[in-house]
Structure 1
Amino acid sequence: MTEPYKSTPEFDQDSLPDALRKAHSTKEGVWGLLVVGKGAVRLVFHEPRREVSVRPGQPAVIPPQAVHHVETDGPMLMHVEFHTHDPSSAAG
């Protein structure tokens, strides 16, 4: 897996910023990797609409400019890593 060039702080269900709870996207050429350390969150993509359950050990890739938001429904810890390439492409 590639190394991130930047990462958010770790958020819990109370500290998750409103900006991540509302529709947003990464910039052109920026890949996100949503990493959950405890609990679970739902990563909701808007076009086409689909939901991904993200749990510890099962991070979710966010392609550049994909509009999405994060939903929580219980205790969790998560952060987002930022990459210049698809972080799943070098896995294995």
Structure 2
Amino acid sequence: MQLPSDVRPYRRTEVFTEATVPAALRRAHNTKAGVWGLIHVLEGRLTYRVTDPGRPPQAQVLSAETAPGVVEPGVLHEVEPLGPVRFFVEFHRA
């Protein structure tokens, strides 16, 4: 999955660690309509799961060596740190 060519970054979160990742990101949540996300892992590993009932279940392990995780607008998803990790989410829109 890739971002559409017509979206641009407009905001990003702070860098989270396994100790500071908000509880809301660890359970099913989504982005607003028209908002895409990129999950950038700086160190360690993080599982990114698509949990939307309208989609086939997906799980992807992200690391600094992998491409960022792509979050589609309105799709339920969650993350789970796999040990020590540092990551941030970059938000994009048209």
**Range into which the TM-score falls when normalised by the shorter chain:** 0.7 to 0.9
Q: Give me the whole-angstrom Cα distance separating, in 2, the residues matched to 1:44 and 1:12.
A: 18
Q: Give me the whole-angstrom Cα distance separating, in 2, the residues matched to 1:42 and 1:73.
A: 7
Q: Which residue of 2 aligns with 1:33?
A: 38
Q: Which runs of 5+ in 2 are unaligned?
A: none
Q: Which residue of 2 aligns with 1:52?
A: 60
TM-score of the pair, normalised by structure 2 = 0.84
Is it true that 1:17 corresponds to 2:14 in the alignment?
A: no
Q: Give me the whole-angstrom Cα distance separating, in 1, the residues matched to 2:62 and 2:34.
A: 23
Q: Give me the whole-angstrom Cα distance separating, in 1, the residues matched to 2:91 and 2:15.
A: 14
Contact 2:35 2:72 (C-alpha < 8 Å) held by counterparts: yes
% identical equivalent positions: 38
* Structure showing the higher strand proportion among its residues: 2
How many pairs were matched up?
85
Q: Give me the whole-angstrom Cα distance separating, in 2, the residues matched to 1:14 and 1:69.
A: 16
Q: Which runs of 5+ in 1 are unaligned?
A: 86-92
The correspondence for 2:90, drawn from 78, 81, 87, is 81
Q: Give me the whole-angstrom Cα distance separating, in 2, the residues matched to 1:79 and 1:3.
A: 16
Secondary structure of residue in 1 paired with 2:31: coil
Is it true that 1:63 corresponds to 2:66 in the alignment?
A: no
Is it true that 1:72 corresponds to 2:72 in the alignment?
A: no
Structure 1 runs of 4+ with >3 Å offset: none
Query: Deviation of residue 3 (structure 1)?
Result: 4.6
